[in-house]
Amino acid sequence: MILDKFIGALLQVLIFGIIPLLVYLFSKKRLKGFFRYIGLIKPVKRTIVWAIVVSFILIITSILLPAVFPEIKELMTMQGTVAGNLKAMGLSFSSVIILTIMALIKTSFSEEILFRGFIAKRLISWLGYTAGNLIQAIIFGLMHVGLLLLISEPNYPFLIFVFIFSGIAGYLLGYIKEKIGNGSIIPGWIAHGMANLISFYLVAFVM
Answer yes or no: is pLDDT of 68 > 80: no
Report helix, strand or coil for 113. helix
Q: What is the rounded average pLDDT of the residues 69-79?
A: 70
Answer yes or no: is pLDDT of 7 > 70: yes
Angle between helices 156-175 and 45-68 (to 10 degrees): 170
d(CA 122, CA 27): 13
161-178: pLDDT as tens digits: 889 989 999 999 999 999
Q: Are 54 and 172 in contact, with CB atoms under 8 Å apart?
A: yes
13-48: pLDDT as tens digits: 999 999 999 999 998 888 899 999 999 998 888 888
Q: What is the pLDDT of residue 125?
A: 92
Q: What is the pLDDT of residue 138?
A: 97
pTM for the whole structure: 0.90
Alpha helices in the chain (DSSP H): 2-28, 34-37, 45-68, 70-76, 82-89, 93-101, 108-111, 120-127, 129-151, 156-175, 186-201
Dihedral sign (CA 118, 151, 171, 11): negative
Q: What is the rounded average pLDDT of the residues 49-66?
A: 84
Q: What is the rounded average pLDDT of the residues 2-21?
A: 91
d(CA 202, CA 118): 31
